[in-house]
């Protein structure tokens, strides 16, 4: 409709221009004055309907940015509360499910990238550069970061933490030793800079540092017996209630240094509550009755397989994330005096048949 109006108006304007041109060009080839004929009144032509100018398109009102809803406590289940929570100790490694809410890593994976779990972003590190030969990583740390007890966080804490992974005190065994096996040297030239030099270029180095097991620990609390009861970190929550066989509560860290994309304070929640429920059937009942709202699964706290289809059927739209890989680990209890002898641990390793493990499963063996 709009196009036809424009075309009609244009055609009328062109016709009028042609008529005016022809009238101006009319006239005589003879000098004799002709007797004028009676002039007839021109017929009135119907006036073309005026074409209304298109109305300007209204600018749509901007969609208001959703504001975060603050407050509330998320109630979850854990299968155990862990009395050893040091993630540089194999006995407390899986406590990272609990302690990650109270600590930070140097770098982390982007939690907002739902297409890839491999995008590495800074956590305590603000920026980093890699040398041309791929050996040296220079990290610049975020300013204004403090531990829960108010002590300023510095590069010294990063050096201290990673050295605990490289050279754990005997007889302690740590998962993190392999993640740091390529480190030749780690230095803190100043409070805001960490320089890590590798032995060879490594494509997986940053990914290893992003694991929750690689939590940065406070160098001013070297006694892990003390730290396990306080969990002093730099993270968004602080330890509030600690009954490892019943319930663990953490509360919002009002002095947390990180902001959201709009510059607003984090975290949004007032706290997290973890009920310690070791039995999967009891955990399922707690979920159905609303006592818990989430089940952050670890290797020993996943739902029982028979409960998964029931949950999917009874709770439409439930957010369920599946762990898509499977592995078996042999974890040696370093509290046992026999296993404190390296030769005994090596003998156990030699006695395990990796080939037989491969035959029992459909996966591909990695590592030793």
| CA-based nearest residue to 51, from 100, 86, 8 | 8
pLDDT at 162: 96
pLDDT digits (tens, 9 = 90+) for 200-236: 999 889 999 999 999 999 999 999 989 999 999 999 9
| 202 alpha carbon, distance to own chain's centre | 23
In the DSSP assignment, the letter for residue 331 is -
What pLDDT is attached to residue 301?
A: 54
What local confidence, expressed as pLDDT, does residue 270 receive? 98
Structure tokens at 297: 């699964």
Q: Measured on CA atoms in the order 294, 318, 94, 183, is the torsion positive or negative?
A: negative
State the chain's mean pLDDT as an integer.
Answer: 79
What is the signed CA dihedral for 346, 351, 352, 356, rounded to 10 degrees? 150
Residue 94 has pLDDT above 80, yes or no: no
pLDDT at 319: 74
Tens of pLDDT along 153-198?
A: 999 999 999 999 999 877 777 878 888 999 999 999 999 999 999 9
| Rounded CA separation 158/211 (Å) | 15
Provide the pLDDT confidence category of residue 299 given band limits of 50, 70 and 90.
low
Question: How many whole angstroms separate alpha carbon 32 and alpha carbon 25?
Answer: 19
Comparing 1-10, 61-70, 312-321, the range with the smallest average pLDDT is 1-10
What pLDDT, on the 0 to 100 scale, is given for residue 9? Answer: 35
CA 124, 230, 100, 272 dihedral sign is: negative
For 186-229, the DSSP string reads: EEEEETTEEEEEESS--TTHHHHHTSGGG----TT---HHHHHH
Dihedral of the CA atoms 188, 189, 192, 196 (nearest 10)? -50
Q: Which of 89-103, 291-305, 322-336 has the lowest mean pLDDT?
A: 322-336
CATH classification code of 70-84+235-316: 3.40.190.10
Where do the domains of the chain lie? 70-84+235-316, 328-368
For residues 219 and 160, the answer to whether their CB atoms sit within 8 Å is yes
Highest mean pLDDT among 8-17, 85-94, 293-302, 336-345: 336-345
pLDDT at position 60: 67
The gap from C-alpha 231 to its chain's centroid, in whole angstroms, comes to 23
Other beta carbons within 10 angstroms of residue 117's beta carbon come to 11
**With contact defined as beta carbons under 8 Å apart, do 6 and 51 qualify?**
yes
Q: What is the pLDDT of residue 222?
A: 94
Bridging pattern class, strands 183-190 and 237-243 = unpaired
Helix or strand run (H / E) with residue 19: helix 2-25
pLDDT over 70 for what percent of the chain? 73
Please say whether the beta carbons of 148 and 250 come within 8 A: no
How far apart are the C-alpha atoms of 198 and 162, rounded to whole Å? 13
pTM of the model: 0.70
Q: Are strands 247-252 and 271-276 parallel, antiparallel or unpaired?
A: antiparallel
Residue-wise pLDDT tens digits, 9-67: 332 332 323 222 323 333 433 343 344 444 444 444 444 444 455 555 566 666 667 78
Model pLDDT, residue 118:
78
HEC-encoded secondary structure of 227-242: HHHHCCCCCCEEEEEE
Residue 322 pLDDT > 90: no
């Amino acid at each position: 409709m709009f196009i036809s109006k424009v075309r009609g108006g244009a055609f009328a304007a062109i016709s009028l221009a042609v008529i005016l041109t022809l009238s101006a060009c009319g006239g005589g080839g003879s000098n004799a004055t002709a007797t004028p004929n009676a002039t007839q009144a021109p017929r009135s032509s119907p006036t073309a309907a005026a074409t209304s100018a298109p109305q300007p398109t209204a600018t749509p009102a901007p969609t208001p940015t959703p504001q975060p809803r603050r407050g509330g406590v998320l109630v979850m289940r854990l299968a155990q509360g862990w009395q050893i929570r040091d993630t540089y100790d194999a006995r407390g490694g899986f406590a990272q499910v609990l302690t990650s809410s109270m600590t930070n890593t140097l770098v982390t994976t982007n939690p907002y990238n739902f297409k890839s779990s491999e995008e590495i972003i800074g956590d305590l590190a603000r920026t980093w550069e890699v040398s041309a030969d791929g050996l040296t990583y220079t990290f610049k740390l975020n300013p204004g970061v403090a531990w829960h007890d108010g002590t300023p966080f510095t590069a010294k804490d990063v050096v201290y933490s990673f050295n605990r992974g490289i050279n754990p005190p005997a007889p302690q065994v740590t998962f993190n030793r392999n993640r740091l096996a390529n480190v030749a040297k780690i230095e803190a030239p100043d409070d805001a800079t960490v320089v890590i030099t590798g032995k060879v270029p490594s494509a997986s180095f940053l990914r290893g540092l992003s694991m929750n097991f690689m939590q940065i620990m406070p160098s001013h609390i070297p006694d892990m017996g003390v730290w396990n009861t306080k969990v002093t970190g730099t993270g968004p929550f602080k330890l509030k209630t600690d009954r490892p066989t019943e319930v663990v509560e953490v509360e919002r860290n009002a002095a947390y240094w990180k902001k959201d994309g709009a510059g607003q304070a984090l975290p949004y929640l007032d706290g997290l509550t973890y009920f310690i429920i070791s039995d999967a059937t009891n955990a399922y009942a707690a979920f159905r009755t609303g006592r818990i709202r989430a089940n952050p699964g670890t290797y020993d706290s996943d739902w029982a397989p028979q409960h998964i289809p029931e949950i999917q059927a009874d709770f439409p739209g439930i957010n369920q994330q599946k762990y898509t890989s499977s592995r078996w680990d042999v974890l040696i209890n370093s509290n046992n005096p026999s296993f404190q002898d390296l030769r005994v641990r090596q003998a156990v390793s030699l006695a395990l048949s990796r080939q037989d493990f491969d035959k029992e499963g459909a996966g591909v063996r990695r590592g030793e």
